[in-house]
Amino acid sequence: MSGYQISPDALDFLLSIESPLQVIENIINNPQSDCPMIISKDFLLAYKSEPSKSRITRSTHTDSESESEMESDIEFSEWRLKIIKNPTADLVGSGGTAEDFLHLFQDRFRRIQKIYMKRIDTRTALSPAVLRKMKGDAKRRKAMYREGKYGKRPGSQKTIGMITSKRESQSKNIIVQLEDSDGSITCIIPSGRSGIKGRTLIEKGNALLLDEVVCISGFVDNDARLIADDIIYPDIPTARTISRAKRDIYAAFISDLHFGSEEFLEDSFNEFIDWLRGVDVDEPDKPMNEQTHYLFIAGDMVDGIGVYPGQEKNLLVPDLYEQYSLLAKKLRDIPSKIKIICIPGNHDACRQALPKPPIPVEFAEPLYELNDQILMLGDPCIVSVEGTNILVTHGDSLDDLVTNIPGASYKQPEIPMKELLRKRHLAPLYGSKTELAPLPRDWMVIETPPDVVHFGHAHHNAVDNYRGVQIINSGTFQGQTDFMRKQGIIPTPGIVTFLNLRNGFPSVKPFFDFSEMHV
């Protein structure tokens, strides 16, 4: 006997598929399965077997390739780089049908549920449908415990589901509907109850977004509602290995150049490129200058055309093709030792829906003519540089978080960035400002915690760290436009973050005189 137990619903499910005994043997004997002692139906549905075995599911839909199956190596004398995740155009096409949307959310649920299944404190979570049948059970179990008929003090139950509705009651409680493929349950998040590690329960409840997958623990009342006592995010593990480079080498991080805008800070950008070329480098900065071999640009490389009403009044270069052509001419001045990694932003010539493939060649051919020096990737992408895993995304979903999560703002983009790391998803909310393409795979799930996460979009520089993940928002090289002024956005332009990939130490260097800024 292996010592494992199986829940009744899991047993019924096994009996409905082919070769159930072989399936169980594969799970128990596979050291990568993280099999819980009590095997539930949800675990069976979330379990991914070895590549030679078929997935355990009754659905005809199968997952797209995993990150490891997409890896490709690029190694030169100066660069050691591996592409781990990249949404190319051939991978992110969609018919836009209702079934496509269903597959997207089913895939999101499976991937995040798998993260929970690897955690000791959530791997035995029950489905919402099972939990509903336990209405009033908390009182009975407590009474049995007091009478000595229950072996140990009964704890609260946990369930994992996707949030399909959220509202606030008259008594300021948060009420959410949690759903999986088998059913749903109403969860009451009481106001005034203490939280874990400084965050009250209601603060956690206020930070919940529609369509995110979350684990909620609590007791089921007589009305089959889950009265929450904690909200558990998939989160970044506190104990994990952080990958570092084996040599002193730096990566520079910038974004939101907005080349072609009247407010593009050409002098500051020229100063930055000159610095990369070794011009006017202060003595203390010389080692960092000599060891900078990578430059990440997190989108909005040009200002684009027709992105917002009245944009044409703010354009110095009104032709999209010319914007990319002139930008490429600037980038050619960057020393050849530096590898440039670029992704699109919402101002670039690319579709608006996430994930975004790389900027098409037909719009940005001069950039592609930089050949080996430039790497044009999609949004989001993961690149391993010198062994350090760097997640790069433009950060479109910051627009949703600053309007839906208390305390989130463009002035402190590290706050919403931390929330996305906790949620293990780059764009949880569907149907708001951030457009999501209905695909069989949810590319926005953060399946493996990165060592570095790089955003743009906020136009505000920020450097922080969350559970070992280095957070970088690289600000902008654009001054304040009329549109920004109306939105109350005050940029922090011309600031570049450099990261030592061996020790993980960030350095921030300004290439703009803020005394000249008019707001």
Mark whether 278 and 351 lie in a shared domain.
yes
Q: What is the mean pLDDT of residues 73-91?
A: 82
Per-residue confidence (pLDDT) for residue 257, from 0 to 100: 97
Whether 123 maps to a domain, the answer reads no
Q: Do residues 261 and 364 share a domain? A: yes
Average pLDDT, the chain: 86
* One domain, residues 470 and 362: yes
- Complete DSSP assignment for 277-326: TTTT--GGGHHHHHTEEEEEEES--B--SSSSTTGGGGBSS--HHHHHHH
In tens, the pLDDT along 98-124 reads 899 999 999 999 999 999 999 999 999
pLDDT at 489: 82
Q: Are 370 and 404 members of one domain?
A: yes
- Does 186 share its domain with 326? no
Q: Supply the DSSP string of 218-255, one letter for each residue.
A: EEE-TTS-EEEEEEE-----SS-PPP--SS--EEEEE-
The answer on 397 and 330 residing in a single domain is: yes
Per-residue confidence (pLDDT) for residue 17, from 0 to 100: 67
> Is 82 inside a domain boundary?
no
**264 and 354 assigned to the same domain:** yes
- Express each pLDDT in 433-477 by its tens digit: 999 999 999 999 999 999 999 999 999 999 999 999 999 999 999
Residue span of the structural domain in which 342 resides: 250-512
* pLDDT for 309: 87
Confidence (pLDDT) at 253: 98
Is a pLDDT exceeding 90 seen at residue 73?
A: no
pLDDT at 46: 66
Residues 228 and 301 in one domain: no
Mean pLDDT of the 121-131 span: 92
Are 53 and 155 in a shared domain? Answer: no
Whether the predicted pLDDT of 194 surpasses 70: no
d(CA 109, CA 116): 11
Sheet containing 250-254: order of strands: 374-376, 339-343, 292-298, 250-254, 495-500, 506-510
Four-CA torsion 147, 152, 154, 159, nearest 10 degrees: -150
CATH code of the domain containing 487: 3.60.21.50
Residue 12 has pLDDT above 70, yes or no: no
Please report, for the domain that includes residue 142, its CATH number: 2.40.50.140
Q: Are residues 370 and 491 in the same domain?
A: yes
pTM: 0.82
Residue 242 included in any domain: no
In a domain, 112, yes or no: no
In a domain, 63, yes or no: no
* Helix (H/G/I), strand (E/B), else coil: 3: coil
At 480-518, the pLDDT tens digits run: 888 888 877 889 999 999 999 999 999 999 998 766 655
Nearest to 346 by CA among 406, 391, 306, 288: 306
pLDDT > 70 fraction of the chain, expressed in percent and rounded: 82
The verdict on residue 244 lying in a domain is no
Residues 411 and 473 in one domain: yes
In the predicted structure, residue 259 carries a pLDDT above the cut 80: yes
- Candidate from 18-22, 262-266, 386-390, 417-421 with smallest mean pLDDT: 18-22
Same domain, 292 and 415: yes
Does 122 fall in a domain?
no
Give the model's confidence band at 30: pLDDT under 50 very low, under 70 low, under 90 confident, else very high. Answer: low
End-to-end CA distance of the chain: 72
How many structural domains is the chain composed of? Answer: 3
Is residue 22 assigned to a domain? Answer: yes
